[in-house]
Amino acid sequence: MDSNFGRGIESKIMSYCQNHLNAIVINFVDMIAHSRSDNAILKEIAPDESAYRSLTRSWFEHSSFFGMLRQLSTKKNVKIIITSDHGSIRCLHGVKAMGDKDTSTNLRYKCGRNVKADPRNAILIKNPQEYKLPRRNGIVNYIIAKEDFYFVYPTDYHKYLNQYNDTFQHGGISIDEMILPVITLDSKL
């Protein structure tokens, strides 16, 4: 949701109360997490987890999302559920990933033909059906990063190792990515 769209929703949020269900996707935190690796200003503003949380809090306090919550708090019989589709983890350790040119590009998981990584840093899934994962175009396996590792191809290894080190990513296997916060808010009126 961009800021203009968000302000538009905020200005009409009370009219949505007549619906049985509304779903609004706010992607700011995810956008910041992914942009941080490519944007020198964001790295300067949020050099560590504490600063990242502070930036997120500042955004929230001035966001159209918070404005929507303030308005909805004045309405009777409103229930709001806030959650996330995934968590994220601060990635601090690169690990070489091997795969062909058709291997997926995610930093925390990869799927393709013969994808490999050091088993100390990744889970190798040779039979995707056992994990209820899709099998695409013939023989496909997966690697999923453990803990705070991220995958880097051997080509330009050091360039990408430096670019993605100390960035927030998702798609791997860590508690921070797999346990999702959920809160239910009811109006007090």
Q: Per-residue confidence of the chain (189 residues) as pLDDT tens digits?
A: 567 888 999 999 999 999 999 999 888 877 777 676 677 788 888 888 888 889 989 999 999 999 999 999 999 989 999 998 888 888 999 999 999 888 988 999 999 888 999 999 999 999 998 988 887 766 689 999 999 999 999 989 999 999 889 888 899 999 988 888 899 999 876
Give the helix ranges, DSSP H, for the chain. 3-12, 28-35, 40-45, 49-61, 64-72, 157-164, 175-178
pLDDT at 44: 86
**Coil, strand or helix: which one is 167?**
strand
pLDDT at 3: 75
Which residues lie closer than 8 Å to 162 by C-beta, 6 or more apart?
none
pLDDT at 4: 84
pLDDT at 14: 95
pLDDT at 166: 85
pLDDT at 146: 96
pLDDT at 49: 82
pLDDT at 37: 65
Amino acid of residue 163: Q
pLDDT at 70: 94
pLDDT at 1: 58
Stated pTM of the model: 0.78
Q: Do 142 and 115 form a contact (C-beta atoms < 8 A)?
A: yes
Q: Is 139 left (phi over 0), alpha (psi -120 to 50) or beta?
A: beta
Which residues lie closer than 8 Å to 158 by C-beta, 6 or more apart?
none
Q: Do 115 and 136 form a contact (C-beta atoms < 8 A)?
A: no
- Going by their DSSP bridges, the two strands 182-186 and 167-169 should be labelled as unpaired
C-alpha 67/C-alpha 37 separation (Å) is 29
C-alpha 127/C-alpha 139 separation (Å) is 9
pLDDT at 32: 79
The full set of domain ranges for the chain reads 3-75, 89-177
